[in-house]
Amino acid sequence: MPKSQHNWASKGGALDKLAQKGPIGELPRDCQLVGVGASKSTIRKRPKKKFICQKLMLALIDIAKDEGNLSWEKKYRNALYCSDQMITGNGRGHCKYCKHRFCTICVSICKADRINRLFPVLVEWPEPQFVTLTIKAKKHWDLKTHVKAVLEAFGTILKRKRKKATRKSGLPYIGIRALEANFNPIAKTYNPHFHLIMYNAEMARDIRKDWIKYWDDEKIAAPYLQQASRIKDLNHHLKETMKYGTKIFTDPTMNKGKSKNSSFMVYIAAMHEINKAFDGSRLFSTFGFKQPTTGVRIDSGPNVTDAQYWQYESSICDYVNIQTGQKLTHWAPNCEMIDLLTQKMDVESK
Ligand SMILES: [Zn+2]
């Protein structure tokens, strides 16, 4: 590699120079980038994601600080600076990412990547079914224990089915599962639950039965709450399943999607409880088949000759070209969004 070229993700690379804010002349137009980079349409949406992420992380840092929780404060601070700088070249944008699952930027990249990989597989399934498996909602002090319990329950059900399939030479369960928990601001409880896409109707019916049988208590796993239905729009349901983790915006009246978005709230203390409860657990997995890989080597990006360097400026909610001062997208949050992430942030309820 010629001396003027830089691998910006490596030590001493162009991004590190950018971070140091050294003399502009030191930033080369030609450099080697890492990974495939984000497309133009993704980049156009990035300032909005960055704006939401920063507001959430600043609030979460305060919650962790108040709790005296240094390790979570550090994690949130890491996500606060996620993709602060960007290099564009060849029509794509390259950043350094924090890779935390509670980071709105990283999680959306991960989800989009999974959807792209899984859709071609799932579309071949004979009659994919959407299944929801849940248990009784819990208070925050019980949440971690119950997250572990539902994961253990699901693992046991899969294991039993695999054993049975080996003995009778049938099929093990085939599907994908995503774990989610949302906060109920009225009851102040959390509902750990799975969204599944199962291979066919028989498997959906059986796994629902196994779930009810496993808990064997209507007060814990009420049969009417365990639902299975045929998928008509795979793309829609795959996106629904990929909303694992937790929601950012919650309807305080729990009016099942009937309220206007403008009345929603952000329950930030509850979000922190969910983040802690999920820490170390796998929120998404596939079973009965192998998840296809992307086939893209992330360590060998393109050589570009038109590199431009951008820094996110929170005061204007956009990336700014550090050489020309030009804005990247000219996006700006509307009043409703500013209100949601400031006035309508509840830092107490959990
Ligand atoms: Zn991130």
Q: Mind giving me the DSSP string for 185-239? A: TTTTEE--EEEEEESSHHHHHHHHHHHHHHH--TTTS-GGGSEEEE-S-HHHHHH
Ligand 1: distance of its center to the CA of 60 in Å? 14
In a domain, 7, yes or no: no
Which of 282, 14, 3 shows the shortest CA–CA distance to 147? Answer: 282
- Residues 6 or more apart whose Cβ sits within 8 Å of residue 64: 70, 72, 73, 76, 272
Ligand 1: distance of its center to the CA of 85 in Å? 12
Ligand 1: distance of its center to the CA of 214 in Å? 37
CA atoms lying within 13 Å on the CB side of residue 137? 14
Ligand 1: distance of its center to the CA of 315 in Å? 20
In a domain, 257, yes or no: yes
DSSP symbol at 39: -
Q: Are residues 87 and 148 in the same domain?
A: no
Ligand 1: distance of its center to the CA of 83 in Å? 7
Ligand 1: distance of its center to the CA of 76 in Å? 10
Q: What is the dihedral of CA 202, 203, 204, 207, to 10 degrees?
A: 130
Domain endpoint, select from 287, 316, 332: 287
In a domain, 253, yes or no: yes
Domain endpoint, select from 287, 304, 333: 287
Ligand 1: distance of its center to the CA of 307 in Å? 22
In a domain, 6, yes or no: no
Ligand 1: distance of its center to the CA of 97 in Å? 5
Q: How far is CA 64 from CA 59, 77, 147, in A?
A: 9, 10, 21
Q: Are residues 239 and 117 in the same domain?
A: yes
Ligand 1: distance of its center to the CA of 54 in Å? 10
Ligand 1: distance of its center to the CA of 99 in Å? 5
Q: Are residues 118 and 105 in the same domain?
A: no
CA gap 154, 159 in Å, rounded: 9
61, containing H or E segment? helix 40-66
Q: Are residues 18 and 141 in the same domain?
A: no
Q: Is 248 exposed, middle or buried (0-12, 13-18, 19+ CB in 10 A)?
A: middle
Ligand 1: distance of its center to the CA of 108 in Å? 9
Ligand 1: distance of its center to the CA of 342 in Å? 21
Domain endpoint, select from 256, 287, 318: 287
Q: Are residues 149 and 47 in the same domain?
A: no
Q: Are residues 256 and 302 in the same domain?
A: no
Q: Are residues 87 and 143 in the same domain?
A: no
Q: Are residues 231 and 313 in the same domain?
A: no
CA gap 217, 201 in Å, rounded: 24
Q: Are residues 181 and 305 in the same domain?
A: no
First to last CA, the chain: 54
Q: Are residues 341 and 240 in the same domain?
A: no
Ligand 1: distance of its center to the CA of 94 in Å? 13
Ligand 1: distance of its center to the CA of 222 in Å? 37
Residue 307 phi, psi (nearest 5)? -60, 135
In a domain, 78, yes or no: yes
pLDDT of residue 261: 67
In a domain, 87, yes or no: yes
Q: How many CB atoms lie under 10 A from the CB of residue 306?
A: 10
Residues of the chain with confidence (pLDDT) below 70: 1-26, 256-262, 294-300
Q: What range defines the domain where residue 175 resides?
A: 113-287
Q: Are residues 273 and 320 in the same domain?
A: no
pLDDT of residue 245: 84
Q: How far is CA 138 from CA 96, 188, 268, 321, in A?
A: 37, 8, 18, 48
CA gap 35, 9 in Å, rounded: 10
CA gap 278, 173 in Å, rounded: 24
Ligand 1: distance of its center to the CA of 173 in Å? 33
In a domain, 201, yes or no: yes
pLDDT of residue 304: 84
SS (H, E, C) 263-317: HCEEEHHHHHHHHHHHCCCCCEEEECCCCCCCCCCCCCCCEECCCEEEEEECCCC
Q: In the chain, how many domains are there?
A: 2
Q: Are residues 180 and 99 in the same domain?
A: no
Q: How many CB atoms lie under 10 A from the CB of residue 12?
A: 10
Ligand 1: distance of its center to the CA of 112 in Å? 14
Ligand 1: distance of its center to the CA of 233 in Å? 30
In a domain, 4, yes or no: no
Can you state the angle between helices 70-80 and 40-66, rounded to 10 degrees? 160
